[in-house]
Amino acid sequence: MSILDVRNIYKIYGKDNSKVIALNGISLKVNSGEVVAIMGPSGCGKSTLLNILGCIDAPTQGESYIDGTQVNFKKLNNLSEIRNKKVSFIFQNFALIKDLSVLENIILPLKFRGISYKERVNKAKKYLKELEIENFKNKNIRELSGGQQQRVSIARALTQESEIILADEPTGALDEINSIKIMEVLKELNKKYNKTIIVVTHDNLVASFCDRILKMKDGCWDNN
C-alpha cells in the first residue's frame, strides 16, 4: 500500500478572469521508503503539491491519503496531528530561529507532542551525532555556515521521527559540494531508517540521488 496517495488534485487561486490553476488534476502514489524527486520550472506547482502532501495547504478539489487514511482538510486538528506526527519538512531557507541555539531549534517541534525535555534532548543528540554536528549543539544558528544550518534543519526533521520527509529545494542555498553532502546524508538516512522522502528541486544533480524523477509543467505531470 502507498504511504502517500493523492488523487485528481486541483488547486485554484482566485476566480473568473483572475483565476490561476496551480495544480490541474494531479495524481501521485509514493511507496514507503521511496525517494522521489519532483522537478519543473518555477511556478509549475511543485511547492504547492508538496504543501498539500504535507497538509500545510488544502486542495480546491481532490483526495489525499496518508497510510491509507483519507486526510480531512476541513478538520484543523486532524491536519495539525498529521504535521506533528506523520510528516517533517526541510526548507530551502532552513526555517531556523536565529536567536536560538542548534539544540533549541531541533527540540522545539517535539514540545508540542508533550514529550519531556530530557527525552527531547536525547532524541536530538542521537541525530546531531548522526549528522556529525553534535559539537555545534550549543552554538547560535547565526554562527553556522549554510551547509551546517541545513544539517540542523535535517536533524530537526529526523528528530521528529516522522515516516515522511518533504524537502523543498533543500540544497537551493548551497554550493555543489555541500549539495552532494546533504543528498548523501538524506540517502543514507533513507536506507538506515526507511524514510520516505520527496524532494522538490531544479537541480539534476540532486535528482540523480532519487529512486524516481517526476517532472511537472503548468500544474500537470510532464510526460514528454
Closest CA to 89 of 109, 103, 113, 104: 109
The answer to whether residues 54 and 89 touch, using CB atoms and an 8 Å cutoff, is yes
- What burial letters (b/e) apply to 10-44, b meaning 16+ CB within 10 Å? ebeeeeeeeeebbbbebebebeeebbbbbbbeeeb
The domain 2-221 is placed in CATH, from the list 3.90.25.10, 3.40.50.300, 1.10.1040.10, 3.40.50.720, at 3.40.50.300
Domain boundaries, the chain: 2-221
pLDDT digits (tens, 9 = 90+) for 128-179: 988 889 999 999 999 998 888 988 998 998 888 899 999 999 888 888 888 8
Residue 7's pLDDT is 97
Taking CA atoms, 207 is separated from 29, 152, 215, in Å, by 18, 22, 11
pLDDT digits (tens, 9 = 90+) for 24-37: 999 999 999 999 99
- The model's pTM: 0.91
The answer to whether residues 175 and 141 touch, using CB atoms and an 8 Å cutoff, is no
